[in-house]
Structure 1
Amino acid sequence: MINNNPLKMSLIALFLFSTPVVMAAVSPEEAAHLKNDLTPFGAQKAGNSDGSIPAWTGGYTQTPAGYKQGDKRADPFASEKPVVSISGKNLAEYSDKLAEGTKIMLQKYPNYRLDVYPTHRTAAAPQWVYDNTLKNATSGKLDTATEDVSGVFGGIPFPIPKNGMEVLWNHRLSWNGGDSFASSFDTWLMTAGGKKVLATRTPYFFQYPYYFQEGSAEKFDGNYYQGKIITELPASKNGEGLMIYYNTTQSKRASWQYLVGQRRVRRLPNIAYDTPNFVTSGVSYFDEAFMLFGPTDKHDLKLVGKKELYIPYNSNKSVLVPSDELVTPNFLNPDHVRWEKHRVWVVEATLKAGQRHVVPRRTYYVDEDTWQIVLIDGYDAQGKLIRQSWSLPYLAGDLPALTTQFMWGIYNIDTGAYVHGLSSNDTPKHYERTARQPSSVFTPDAMANESSR
């Protein structure tokens, strides 16, 4: 019998839409695909119909002879030649496999091009990470009201995703090669007038308690990332510090900044969303850092599906040249950027009613093999595409990992200015796995002591 009581129906609707929806894990039968037609991370194992995307056969796990941690890793595919170069002249022929922001860049700049190389599915991880991913598939839970995640540890949380929020959590908790790292990096600003400016040079220390091998979902406290930077250059920022904790419970995120002029550490209230990022001198927003930084709860997330796309990939060549050769006016030098054809998940983010954000709509393109975001198209309130974020996935077969933890940036399509963040082109160290640091290293007091030296 149909209930036609309008008041009762309204109350039921209000209850349904105000109650958190907890997305349950997949069934054991679905998870079994991770041992058959899907890779251990949930990607389609088979290649595509014309062979331009090969089958995944285990990834790239080789260590160059004589390599030592911290060395600059060679480009294992340096002898290869492009299979095609895409420019504004032949854009129409490849348009269906290009992100919208990429098309606009090709149309706007006659000298911009994509050198597309043979596709190598190099993503790999240790077996224990694959084992944890299989467990997560049947135990992971997502609260769609709070964006909180539970029941996962040490692997991809949602290898068989059901919605866009799960895909973005896969990026946040993706495998980057281990549990503790150090790097030294520069953040470069290229002005609209073609002037290259150093925004920041800093050592960067970070670790992933989520990937402490001896841990488990039952013991995990949710603190999945700890990071700390102490600025060296420019001189006006020398000693300035930033420290971040991220948690699978979004309300437990925390960040601190050490201000040299005040000689004190302060808790940061809002290092998220479209707050200007002081690490890039305010040219980018905090939620653009590392391709995704902080919560996305101001936007509705729609999982559109999967498609073949030309994306930056296996980008070691990009970091092996001086920054003056890579960071050129309007865009990165195409001679030093490798593109390949891969399958990506597409997630549309649209601003919720009553919320405000200077980029109300974004399209995320997420690599199926690593779950890392490789491109983002950003639109303004009038629907005009104004920004494109990009990452240059770096291959570290010794770990093994393919990581977007450094070498990312944002093109301002309107002005021609851009940011190239976490560049190790001019620094002695690249991406170095280090001994695990005690929790005391990642405290406000420890940062104050280091910054004030």
Structure 2
Amino acid sequence: MRLTKNVLATGVLAASLVAANAQAAVSAADAAKLGDTLTPIGAEKAGNGGDIPAWDGGLSQVPAAYKGDGIYVNPFANEQPLFTIDQSNVGDHADKLSPGQVAMINKYSDYVIPVYPTHRTSGYPDDIEQETIENATKVELVQGGNGLANYQNATPFPIPQNGLEVIWNHITRYRGGSVQRNVGQVTPQENGAYSVVKFQDELTWRAFLTDFNPDEDANVLFYFKQAITAPARLAGNVLLVHETIDQIEEPRRAWVYNAGQRRVRRAPQVAYDGPGTASDGMRTSDNFDMYNGAPDRYNWELVGKKEMYIPYNSYRLVDRDLSYDEIIKAGHINQELTRYELHRVWHVRATLKSGERHIYAQRDFFIDEDSWQASVIDHYDGRGELWRVAEAHNMYFYDQEVPWYAIEVLYDLLSGRYLALGLTNEESDPYTFGVERASREYTPAALRRAGTR
């Protein structure tokens, strides 16, 4: 199903409040650049005259070998790295890496960055691109940046004026409307030993519900349900989230079903730096999807735009011929299986507001211009020391016109451990797009029905 419904989705719909607190959208003259010198979602169409090519619509041709079964084949399988960045030459390339990436190379002799030719594969459905163009002159930040006025699905700020608008583009980016996925998560010990926690996730945007009503739950962006399917000691536990847009006006609604107790309870800790599900303390709630949730605890600075080597077209990491043992290694994933390309990214710095609490005092985001996906995030502790490094191994789901992640990883420089989420190599039915869900399936009562062993 392609989205054609206009959704005024904000937690702050009152006209007087919008007038009082809104930050202006861009002019019609600026918006006219979209589809002209800018792509329909706001990236620079032109290349850089060198390694970054011009955008020509993304990867529009589905590989002939793809069977339409959610098991994605690599359209660039025959390409070889142009060069590899390692401890011997990292200084020559540090200007195109984040401090966290440099730290990982310096910490591990086998942490290398293979750099391949750049392919700007990301694209979106026509209606999503059209809604993005319309958003440019309509959508405004309200409530100090914690809400969106006049928002319809798609990218709210294709021509961002500040760092917070870039972050909202990541939070709200299109991920197919309604999707179910079966994925694995691991948190290896320092020696590389690990066990797999398996999830069945469901993600449905409100406008994709079969019983969608624009007058109900107008502050909800999407519904998310995550059931643990393995190991047996955790199987049957389920998390349900109603993701509100303005989480200051109305905090995220979250419930958990505990299979052992056969109880549903509210879960207010599923936010900010609350512990991530079954993560062994290796990530916070807002580390999921690289970053999610309310942005109110940070000040957001748009540092600028830069060229950077980021994980991209990472189809090797979903190869069904690979086992998890071949991917998961001590200290980090097997970097020989990764692919990095030179792309333009938005650099946004988040610094913790005075009086607010979070285990990360600073976060530096590097967000891909073609997809609005956070691709690398460096996390700093309260002493200002680099602590954790997140990398999203981007790939394009070409049959669905959806940029997303093959896997996301979060490395802890201090403990030598890490978390990898989104593994699908050993999972059946990894991705199913276009699933049909009704609002009644995302209620606490439905949560209990779903939470049976």
Partner Cα separation in structure 2 for residue 392 and residue 66 of structure 1: 22
Partner of 2:5: none
Partner of 2:165: 166
Question: What SS does the corresponding residue of 1:25 show, helix, strand or coil?
Answer: coil
- How far does residue 24 in structure 1 lie from its aligned partner after superposition? 1.3
Q: Is this contact kept in 1: 2:211–2:438, CA < 8 A?
A: no
Q: Give 1:111-130 correspondences, 5 Å limit.
A: 111-130=110-129
Among 207, 213, 227, the residue aligned to 2:224: 227
Question: What SS does the corresponding residue of 1:291 show, helix, strand or coil?
Answer: coil
In the superposition, relative to structure 1, how do residues 35 and 220 fare at CA in structure 2: closer, same or farther (>3 Å)? farther
Partner of 1:10: none
246-255 or 227-236, larger mean C-alpha shift = 246-255
Q: Give 1:426-437 correspondences, 5 Å limit.
A: 426-437=426-437
User: In the comparison of the two structures, how many residue pairs are matched?
Assistant: 431
- How far does residue 270 in structure 1 lie from its aligned partner after superposition? 2.5
Q: Is this contact kept in 1: 2:378–2:390, CA < 8 A?
A: yes
Partner Cα separation in structure 2 for residue 298 and residue 232 of structure 1: 33
Q: Is this contact kept in 2: 1:69–1:433, CA < 8 A?
A: no
Q: Give 1:137-156 correspondences, 5 Å limit.
A: 137-143=136-142, 145=144, 147-156=146-155
Partner of 1:53: 52
Deviations 1:353-380 (CA, angstroms, capped at 9, x unpaired): 1112111001001000000101100111
Q: Is this contact kept in 2: 1:147–1:165, CA < 8 A?
A: no
Partner of 2:14: none
Partner Cα separation in structure 1 for residue 450 and residue 216 of structure 2: 31
Deviations 1:418-450 (CA, angstroms, capped at 9, x unpaired): 000121121022222133211111111111012
Which letter maps to 1:232?
A: T
Question: What SS does the corresponding residue of 1:115 show, helix, strand or coil?
Answer: strand
Partner Cα separation in structure 1 for residue 256 and residue 445 of structure 2: 11
Partner of 1:359: 360
267-276 or 235-244, larger mean C-alpha shift = 267-276
Indicate yes or no: 2:291 matched with 1:292: yes
267-276 or 305-314, larger mean C-alpha shift = 267-276
Q: Is this contact kept in 2: 1:153–1:211, CA < 8 A?
A: no
- Structure (1 or 2) with the larger CA radius of gyration: 1
Partner Cα separation in structure 2 for residue 31 and residue 414 of structure 1: 45
Which letter maps to 2:324?
A: S
Which letter maps to 1:439?
A: S
In the superposition, relative to structure 1, how do residues 342 and 275 fare at CA in structure 2: closer, same or farther (>3 Å)? same
Partner of 1:7: none
Indicate yes or no: 2:244 matched with 1:247: yes
Partner of 1:415: 415
Which letter maps to 1:409?
A: V
19-28 or 118-127, larger mean C-alpha shift = 19-28
Partner Cα separation in structure 2 for residue 301 and residue 194 of structure 1: 36
Question: What SS does the corresponding residue of 2:275 show, helix, strand or coil?
Answer: coil
Deviations 1:241-287 (CA, angstroms, capped at 9, x unpaired): 00111122222521110012221111111211111213313221111
Partner of 1:189: 187
Deviations 1:74-133 (CA, angstroms, capped at 9, x unpaired): 011010000110001001111100011000011111111000100000111111111100
Among 212, 237, 241, the residue aligned to 2:234: 237
Partner Cα separation in structure 2 for residue 102 and residue 120 of structure 1: 21
Deviations 1:335-361 (CA, angstroms, capped at 9, x unpaired): 111100000000000011111211100
Partner Cα separation in structure 2 for residue 77 and residue 71 of structure 1: 18
In the superposition, relative to structure 1, how do residues 136 and 216 fare at CA in structure 2: closer, same or farther (>3 Å)? farther
Which letter maps to 2:244?
A: N
Which letter maps to 2:245?
A: T
Q: Which runs of 5+ in 1 are unaligned?
A: 1-18
In the superposition, relative to structure 1, how do residues 217 and 62 fare at CA in structure 2: closer, same or farther (>3 Å)? farther
Q: C-alpha root-mean-square deviation of aligned residues, in Å?
A: 2.1
In the superposition, relative to structure 1, how do residues 118 and 213 fare at CA in structure 2: closer, same or farther (>3 Å)? farther
Deviations 1:57-86 (CA, angstroms, capped at 9, x unpaired): 000122233644443110110100001100
Indicate yes or no: 2:402 matched with 1:401: yes
Q: Is this contact kept in 1: 2:203–2:223, CA < 8 A?
A: yes
Partner Cα separation in structure 2 for residue 202 and residue 269 of structure 1: 21
Which letter maps to 1:245?
A: H
Percent identity over paired residues: 35
Partner of 2:109: 110
In the superposition, relative to structure 1, how do residues 244 and 213 fare at CA in structure 2: closer, same or farther (>3 Å)? closer
Partner Cα separation in structure 2 for residue 44 and residue 146 of structure 1: 25
Q: Is this contact kept in 2: 1:181–1:433, CA < 8 A?
A: yes
In the superposition, relative to structure 1, how do residues 146 and 54 fare at CA in structure 2: closer, same or farther (>3 Å)? closer
Which letter maps to 1:442?
A: Y
Partner Cα separation in structure 2 for residue 220 and residue 151 of structure 1: 15
- How far does residue 21 in structure 1 lie from its aligned partner after superposition? 4.1
Of Structure 1 and Structure 2, the greater helix share is in: 1
Partner Cα separation in structure 2 for residue 357 and residue 137 of structure 1: 32
In the superposition, relative to structure 1, how do residues 286 and 56 fare at CA in structure 2: closer, same or farther (>3 Å)? same
Partner of 1:14: none
Q: Is this contact kept in 1: 2:210–2:437, CA < 8 A?
A: no
In the superposition, relative to structure 1, how do residues 248 and 110 fare at CA in structure 2: closer, same or farther (>3 Å)? same
Question: What SS does the corresponding residue of 1:269 show, helix, strand or coil?
Answer: coil
Q: Is this contact kept in 2: 1:210–1:220, CA < 8 A?
A: no
Question: What SS does the corresponding residue of 2:111 show, helix, strand or coil?
Answer: coil
Indicate yes or no: 2:201 matched with 1:204: yes
Q: Is this contact kept in 2: 1:34–1:134, CA < 8 A?
A: yes
Partner Cα separation in structure 2 for residue 216 and residue 126 of structure 1: 23
Partner Cα separation in structure 2 for residue 171 and residue 220 of structure 1: 22
Partner of 1:41: 41
Which letter maps to 1:115?
A: P
In the superposition, relative to structure 1, how do residues 211 and 97 fare at CA in structure 2: closer, same or farther (>3 Å)? farther
Partner of 2:337: 336
Question: What SS does the corresponding residue of 1:287 show, helix, strand or coil?
Answer: helix
Which letter maps to 2:236?
A: G
Partner Cα separation in structure 1 for residue 342 and residue 420 of structure 2: 23
